[in-house]
Copies of this chain bind each other. A is one copy, B any other.
Amino acid sequence: MIEVFKKYLHLSETDWDIIAPVCTMKKLRKQQYLLQEGDVWRYHAFVCKGCLRRYRIDDKGDEHIIQFSIENWWAGDRESLLNNTPSKYNIDAIEDTEVVLIRNDDFNMLCQKLPAFNDFINNILNRSFNASQQRIDAAISLNAEEKYLHFIETFPHLANRVPRHMLASYLGITPETLSRIKNQVAKK
């Protein structure tokens, strides 16, 4: 559980004495919500095991997946967290999942007290930022087939782990199109 967290974030034991008390372990069953549209998100969530998805439901009732979060990544809704506004997203578990939750004020305290923690977090933020820039690039530059190929190249592990219709939603194409593309690609 929290061992995973520890393993990933290399800090001294005394640092951990500060971190541990503000951490809450949460287990999610497949399909279970971590956040529902309309609620305000107040945490930072570190995924120790499993896989989460963050998605929006549009006027027509269609789901659009903004993000997948697997082990060793963070999940949540920064927008809701920072602005104290109701979230427009849902977050739920694609697999049985375990997360560490840290309340926002505790989190800020950790960033202030522990420079190593702060650096760690900044590093993650920067990588996330770069990742979203690349996703924008892919979304505006590539056609459906290229988007699929780009995805399996960038996240080879995820492609088999995520249900196809969710992958389609993430890529911004229909499940039917994705299915046809997969066939087409397989033939080559």
Contact = CB atoms under 8 A, between A and B. Distances in A.
A139 to B, nearest CB: 4
A129 B58 contact: no
A67 to B, nearest CB: 8
Copies of this chain: 2
A14 to B, nearest CB: 23
Interface stretch (A29-37, A96-104, A130-138): A130-138
A49 interface: no
Interface in A13-47: none
B172 A133 contact: no
Given A172-B139, A172-B141, A132 B130 contact: no
A78 interface: yes
A56 B138 CA distance: 11
Contacts of A136: 66, 132, 135-136, 139
A114 to B, nearest CB: 16
16 contacts: A56-B137, A56-B141, A62-B141, A64-B141, A66-B133, A66-B137, A78-B126, A78-B129, A78-B130, A79-B130, A82-B126, A125-B129, A132-B132, A139-B139, A139-B172, A140-B171
